[in-house]
Amino acid sequence: MPLGKKQLPDLKIGIIGAGQLGLTMAQVFIRSFLPVQNLFISFKGSPHTKKTIEGFGLSDQVVPVEELCMAADLVFIFIRPQSFIDFRITLIGENTLFVSGMAGIPLASLQKVFGKNVCRIMTSGPDTIRQNKAMAAICPFNETVNRIITTSGFTPMILNNEQELHYFTVGVCLPAALVLAKKIGIDVESEFEDLKPGYAVIRQLYVWAKGVIPEFASDKDAEDYVHKMATPGGITEAILINLRKNRDLLQAVEAGVERSMAISDEFS
């Protein structure tokens, strides 16, 4: 049966990468529509990740990556962009759709590994997913992926092209940036009045970001929130480093866009 005609509970979904985002997505899919036996997980095998998977009751769903790619209708990839360098796969299902959640990796590079049946997805962080306040963008748009994310509680944002994914990726990093900006005394509202007209996606996500920042019981809680959002070498980290150095949020946003584009260039 063509993918688009399947009911969501009948889909077989694979997730490559069992970090915070991958496991949060697995939990949301199961909670929202997916029988647990239709979920497959593959990861590199760190003891900490294995223990976390056991804690979620998903140990029986762990399979080798090639078995996952053969069995699943859709495969979501939630590994660090830097890990894509060494990623290899020799067996894939004839009609499997690959959905990359790796920031910055362009479609052209993904297609060299996964074939033509691929799209990209970017989401806001695990905290917003658990709060049912998450945003997601798909490029190119895919109706089945859109059904999955909307059923799972995400608010979708329709993008015009892959370039706008860079802006979306920076936009979903804004909660951490806004917390840090407040801590170091930046007048965020006045700065965002000067945001480039071309950054309409970031402007929309700025409004969303203000509404998802939690209340913090202490300064340490706020610092921990910012710290856990930043992946080494990633886009949030680039924004936060620039913000601490220059105390200018718009300049930090630019640094985030530049980092996203640099990652894209690295893998082009």
**Residues 161-190: tens digit of each pLDDT:** 999 999 999 999 999 999 999 999 988 888
Cα distances (Å, whole numbers) of residue 82 to 44, 56, 86, 177: 14, 27, 8, 23
Q: What is the rounded distance in angstroms from the CA atom of residue 33 to the CA atom of residue 56?
A: 17
Q: How many domains does the chain have?
A: 2
Asked if 85 and 19 sit in the same domain, the reply is: yes
Asked if 196 and 73 sit in the same domain, the reply is: no
Q: 158, 180, 198 — which closes off a domain?
A: 158
Q: Across all residues in the chain, what is the average pLDDT?
A: 91
Kindly state the average pLDDT of the residues 221-231: 89
Q: What is the rounded distance in angstroms from the CA atom of residue 244 to the CA atom of residue 84?
A: 29
pTM equals 0.90
What is the rounded (10 degree) CA torsion for 18, 175, 121, 136?
A: 110
Asked if 141 and 64 sit in the same domain, the reply is: yes
- Domain residue limits at 128: 3-158
Asked if 96 and 181 sit in the same domain, the reply is: no
Q: What is the rounded distance in angstroms from the CA atom of residue 38 to the CA atom of residue 17?
A: 17
